[in-house]
Amino acid sequence: MDRLRLYSDEGRRTWAWAAVPLAWLCVFVAARGAGLLFGLAGLQPSGASGRWQDNIAGLFAWGVVLLILWAWLRWREGRSLRDIGLPSRWGRFGGGLALGLVMAVAAMAAGVMLGGFEIVHPGAWYDHLTPLWFLASTLTIAGTVMQAAAMEGLYRGWLMQAVARRWGVGLAIAANAVTSAYIAAGDVTRGPEVVVGAVNLALLAWLLSSLALRDGVLWGACGLHAGWNLALGLGFGLNLDGNHLNVTPMLLAMLPQLDAPWWLTGGDFGPDGSLVVTAVIGLGLLSRLMGRKTRRRRDDDDDEVLN
């Protein structure tokens, strides 16, 4: 998804003005369709359910988004998932995954040191390695990767391309950041932690967009997205955007301190609604921007030498 591909005239264009409502409609239709599909098996795909089966079904429900996106690209635009940055090779996924894990661990380490979170007990790797846990954790990892691929394909792939073709990269990044944050956070009037959560999600979308533009494909962004969610949810057992994964945490079972302020823990929204996460994502974004400026200066120096 480099600049050349962003402005490519290949295929039939989607109207830029309709990209944001179409993205929302895609998620809405997918949620309803997945609800009907999983309902046949007695499941309710939801991150707010008390059953781990429903939580995992909620992750795989994003596969319907990927299916709708594939169908739209094929029959409306005459393109493929590869054309929006999802080729068959996952070459950059591992690096993005490592970055997402490091960022999440850094955020939680800071939260513990500042008194916002407490470690309740060791994770499943210590004393809960049951066959059922292996099944649930394996499905959680697979579902999280699918969710990340669907979200990155929709927001940082298709939506960003559609807007950038008409109005440029800057507005395209803003559009996908606002859209993805709104859909994930929901009603921001629920509390100040939800407002901060929406801001954090928008900043994370900006970072993911920058990573996708640098790589030319979406797999690095998919890896970062999946690594972040896996570390906070399956790794530490914390809420993600107000939803809780009911699977025994893999690394450490952590809980927010009862007397800690919301800005330190994110309250019921989870760490994504805390200012600690704001700082971590902000540092990651600043690092990307500074790295891009350094490479641009180096390229300019090389051009002067050649001239």
Whether 194 and 185 have beta carbons less than 8 Å apart is answered as: yes
Q: What are phi and psi of 136, to 5 degrees?
A: -65, -40
What pLDDT score does 48 carry? 73
The residue written with tokens 């005239």 in the block is: 9
Neighbouring C-beta atoms of residue 216, cutoff 10 Å: 16
Q: What is the pLDDT of residues 186-243, one digit of tens each?
A: 888 888 999 999 999 999 999 999 999 989 899 999 999 999 999 999 999 999 988 8
- The three-state secondary structure class of 120 is strand
pLDDT at residue 111, rounded to an integer = 95
**Pairing verdict, β 252-256 and 117-122:** antiparallel
How much is the pLDDT for 232? 96
Quote the CA–CA distance of 39 and 180 in Å, as a whole number. Answer: 26
What six digits make up the tokens of 205?
A: 């979308």
Per-residue model confidence (pLDDT) at position 299: 47
Predicted confidence (pLDDT) per residue in 150-179, tens digit: 999 999 999 999 999 889 999 999 999 999
Please give the Cα distance from 291 to 295 (Å, whole number): 6
pLDDT given at position 81 = 93
In single-letter form, the type of residue at position 86 comes to L
Distance CA 142, CA 247 (A): 14
The residue behind tokens 């590869």 is 82
pLDDT attached to residue 190: 87
Cβ-proximal residues to 267 (8 Å cutoff; 6+ apart), any chain: 191, 193, 256, 273
**Within the chain, which residues score under 50 in pLDDT?**
1-4, 6-7, 299-307
Maximum alpha-carbon separation in the chain: 69
Q: Which of 54, 24, 30 is nearest to 41 (CA)?
A: 54
3-state secondary structure 156-190: HHHHHHHHHHHHCHHHHHHHHHHHHHHHHHCCHHH
Q: Where are the domains of the chain?
A: 3-306
* pLDDT score, position 220: 95
Q: What is the pLDDT of residue 6?
A: 45
